Structure 1
């Protein structure tokens, strides 16, 4: 399915925090790590890496959830605690938006899957690239170019 026209809007389960995406994803992914499994109460988390300048919280004030004091900041609605997006210190150029927080996530397909070394044995995705942990830092540029070239 093709992506709907930008901007995209989304929000938490209760609607007290809303967000807007005005830039195309750099990459889409499924993360199988046990941390994501626990935060989603599912087999993996789904996210779209959005350029920071193309992301904004339009309503509400999300709070940091998940682990605290880490370089990875998981943001959630303070009321319903929906995990909405993640920012990584030192990688301020993108925001990892949980794809299922978008009002219309029907276009979403993970392009890469990470932490397959921790995945549940039955969990599968249609991702084109799989990694036991994370891709090497030097591979991200190639992956983003390939993802964006596919439209």
Structure 2
């Protein structure tokens, strides 16, 4: 049995909230993809987990609308929502060179496959993903470099 196929995104990729008032554009390949099972993500997404594209900050722009902060309104973890429909669209992490875009907010989310699965200790028993890397909480800091390198290699192997 073969594993999941990780393909590069066709760029630029566009997306937006449910009502269309907040629109964004992604112009850089994600550095990784993930599904998070933490209770916070479950509650904010209204689902079993949230989907994430980790996009370099310089490869993301809001092209319509003005996001508002939601969630816990933690200055270090800024969850951005549409001001009209309140959909959770992306998250900025203080000091991180990337932001987390909700993959399901892309106009075409069909290429999304989670590479890393986090907070599996909080996972609903039936919620499974094909992610090859699974962590009970978040990956330890020393794991990020090798994970990002492996993801980059997988994407590069599909770009030809």
Within-5 A mapping of 1:44-63 = 44-63=49-68
Q: TM-score, normalised by structure 2?
A: 0.91
Q: Is 1:72 matched up with 2:114?
A: no
Check the 8 A contact 2:80/2:88 in 1, yes or no: yes
| Structure 1: 4+ residue segments shifted above 3 A | 1-4
Are residues 1:108 and 2:112 paired?
yes
Q: CA deviation at 1:4?
A: 4.3
Alignment RMSD = 1.0
What's the counterpart of residue 94 of structure 2? 89
Q: 2:63, 2:17 → 1: CA distance?
A: 12
- Unaligned 5+ segments in structure 1 are none
Q: How far apart in 2 are the matches of 1:4 and 1:140?
A: 21
Tell me by how many angstroms 1:5 deviates: 2.0
Q: Establish whether residue 135 from structure 1 lines up as the match of residue 139 from structure 2.
A: yes
Name 2:158's counterpart in structure 1.
Answer: none
Structure 1, residues 77-96: CA drift from partner, whole Å, max 9, x if none? 010011000001121x1010
* Cα distance between partner residues in 1 of 2:102 and 2:112: 10
Supply the distance in 2 between the matched residues of 1:70 and 1:129 (Cα, whole angstroms): 29
- TM (norm. structure 1) is 0.96
Alpha-carbon distance, 1:69 to partner: 3.2
Alignment gaps of 5+ in structure 2:
156-160
**Cα deviation, residue 3, structure 1:** 3.8
